[in-house]
């Protein structure tokens, strides 16, 4: 089994943090996306969308999408459970993971991809106005999340889950994008510090 990643990029990191929480190690193949190593024919055959991470199983099956990879790992190694254990916890974790992906991580990524000169060869066309349009959306999501986190330790309840991993990666991704958590959002700040303080919190 081999995990295709690329340096310090956010989506492969979701899998790395997940594996760290499980205490697992998978052999890694590190591609340099800046040199477009993920655009060679062999990799494109595994993922026509040309994105990392990809987990390649021993029989050649390629599992793309970070959450699909995490689900596969969870099925093989259920402990500790990071996708929930009851119908309600499973649904809430799925809900929060999707909300964090669609309403926070995607917006931060859009700002980065559509404004950073180094991304121009990967994000075609690069639309700076789309980067600008996403800035207020990040603040809106952070304000909502801050209110939610007022009453619980983790985003989907009282236990750590894959949704927290998506949150950690999104919040850490704000730094290279030069975004900061607005003043007054103390619950988000506390949550971020809690996630970073875990042994998995500094893993790449
Ligand atoms: N939804 C995908 C997103 C994967 C993704 O966007 N990966 C980035 C690195 S964080 C990538 O491979 N970028 C290469 C490119 O933009 O060409 C997942 O969760 O795995």
Position 47 scores a pLDDT of: 98
Position 10 scores a pLDDT of: 98
Q: What is the mean pLDDT of residues 35-60?
A: 97
Kindly state the DSSP code that residue 79 receives in the 8-state scheme. Answer: S
CA 183 to centroid of ligand 1, rounded, Å: 30
Beta carbon of 53 within 6 Å of any ligand 1 atom: yes
112 Cβ contact partners less than 8 Å away, ≥ 6 residues apart: 119, 131, 173, 176, 177
pLDDT in tens, 98-126: 999 999 999 999 999 999 999 999 999 99
Position 92 scores a pLDDT of: 98
Beta carbon of 51 within 6 Å of any ligand 1 atom: yes
Position 114 scores a pLDDT of: 98
In this structure, which residue's CA is closest to atom 16 in ligand 1?
122
pLDDT in tens, 144-179: 999 999 999 999 999 999 999 999 999 999 999 999
Q: At what angle do helices 106-115 and 162-173 cross, to 10 degrees?
A: 30
Beta carbon of 10 within 6 Å of any ligand 1 atom: yes
- φ/ψ of 119, rounded to 5, equals -90, -5
In this structure, which residue's CA is closest to atom 6 in ligand 1?
51
* Ligand 1 atom at shortest distance from the alpha carbon of 53: 20
> From CA 187, how far away is CA 104, in angstroms rounded?
16
Beta carbon of 65 within 6 Å of any ligand 1 atom: yes
Position 15 scores a pLDDT of: 98
Beta carbon of 161 within 6 Å of any ligand 1 atom: no
Position 7 scores a pLDDT of: 94
Report CA 45 to chain centroid distance, whole Å.
23
């Amino acid at each position: 089994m081999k995990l295709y990643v690329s340096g310090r990029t956010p989506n492969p990191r979701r899998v790395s943090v997940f594996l760290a929480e499980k205490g697992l190690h998978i052999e890694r193949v590190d591609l340099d996306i800046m040199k477009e190593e993920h655009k060679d024919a062999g990799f494109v055959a595994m993922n026509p969308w040309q994105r990392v991470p990809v987990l390649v199983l021993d029989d050649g099956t390629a599992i793309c999408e970070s959450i699909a990879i995490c689900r596969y790992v969870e099925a093989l190694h259920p402990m500790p459970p990071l996708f929930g254990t009851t119908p309600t916890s499973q649904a809430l974790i799925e809900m929060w993971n999707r909300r964090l992906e669609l309403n926070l991580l995607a917006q931060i990524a859009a700002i980065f991809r559509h404004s950073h000169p180094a991304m121009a060869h990967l994000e075609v066309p690069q639309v700076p106005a789309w980067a600008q349009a996403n800035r207020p959306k990040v603040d809106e999501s952070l304000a909502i999340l801050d209110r939610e986190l007022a009453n619980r330790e983790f985003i989907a309840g009282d236990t750590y889950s894959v949704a927290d991993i998506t949150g950690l990666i999104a919040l850490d991704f704000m730094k290279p994008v030069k975004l900061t958590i607005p003043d007054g959002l103390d619950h988000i700040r506390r949550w971020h510090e809690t996630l970073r303080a875990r042994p998995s919190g500094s893993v790449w």
